[in-house]
C-alpha cells in the first residue's frame, strides 16, 4: 500500500499545477537553493500566511490554549536531557559557541516547554 501511494503521489494529470507552480505564478512565494525547504514569502503570500496564523491563533484561544514563545538557539544540554541529542544529533544543527559552549537550533519546542512548565508548581485539584 505505501508503495502505491508513493507512485500515485508522483503522478498527476498534466492540467494540475503543483503548489510550487501556483505560488510562483501568483507571486505568493518562491524558493531558492540558498534556503532549502524555506520559502521566501512575497507581500501577497505573507498576507495570506499571516491571515492563516491569525485564524489558527483565534481558534486555539477559543479552546482555551495560551501561546508561548521560546528561544530558537539553546545550550545543547537541554537536548541531551530531553533525549533528542542521543537520537537526532546527526540531523540537528549544533556548533561550538563562544567559550566552547555547545549550542544548537531547537528541532522542536517540547524541551523548551518542559523548562517553562518546570518554573512553578502546578496543582490539578
The string of pLDDT tens digits covering residues 29-54 is 998 999 988 899 999 999 999 999 99
Q: What is the DSSP letter of 32?
A: -
Confidence (pLDDT) at 5: 55
Give the number of C-alpha atoms closer than 13 A to the C-alpha of residue 53, restricted to the C-beta side: 7
Confidence (pLDDT) at 7: 55
18 band by pLDDT with thresholds 50, 70 and 90:
confident
Neighbour-count burial of 42, counting CB atoms closer than 10 A to its CB (0-12 exposed, 13-18 middle, 19+ buried): middle
Amino acid at each position: 500500500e505505501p508503495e502505491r501511494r508513493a507512485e500515485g503521489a508522483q503522478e498527476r494529470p498534466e492540467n494540475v499545477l503543483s503548489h510550487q507552480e501556483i505560488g510562483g505564478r501568483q507571486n505568493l512565494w518562491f524558493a531558492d537553493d540558498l534556503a532549502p525547504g524555506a520559502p521566501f514569502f512575497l507581500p501577497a503570500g505573507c498576507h495570506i500566511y499571516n491571515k492563516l496564523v491569525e485564524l489558527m491563533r483565534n481558534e486555539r484561544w477559543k479552546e482555551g490554549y495560551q501561546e508561548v514563545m521560546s528561544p530558537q538557539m539553546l545550550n545543547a544540554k537541554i537536548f541531551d536531557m530531553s533525549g533528542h541529542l542521543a537520537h537526532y544529533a546527526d540531523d540537528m544543527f549544533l556548533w561550538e559557541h563562544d567559550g566552547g559552549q555547545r549550542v544548537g537550533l531547537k528541532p522542536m519546542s517540547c524541551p523548551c516547554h518542559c523548562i517553562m512548565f518546570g518554573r512553578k508548581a502546578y496543582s490539578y485539584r
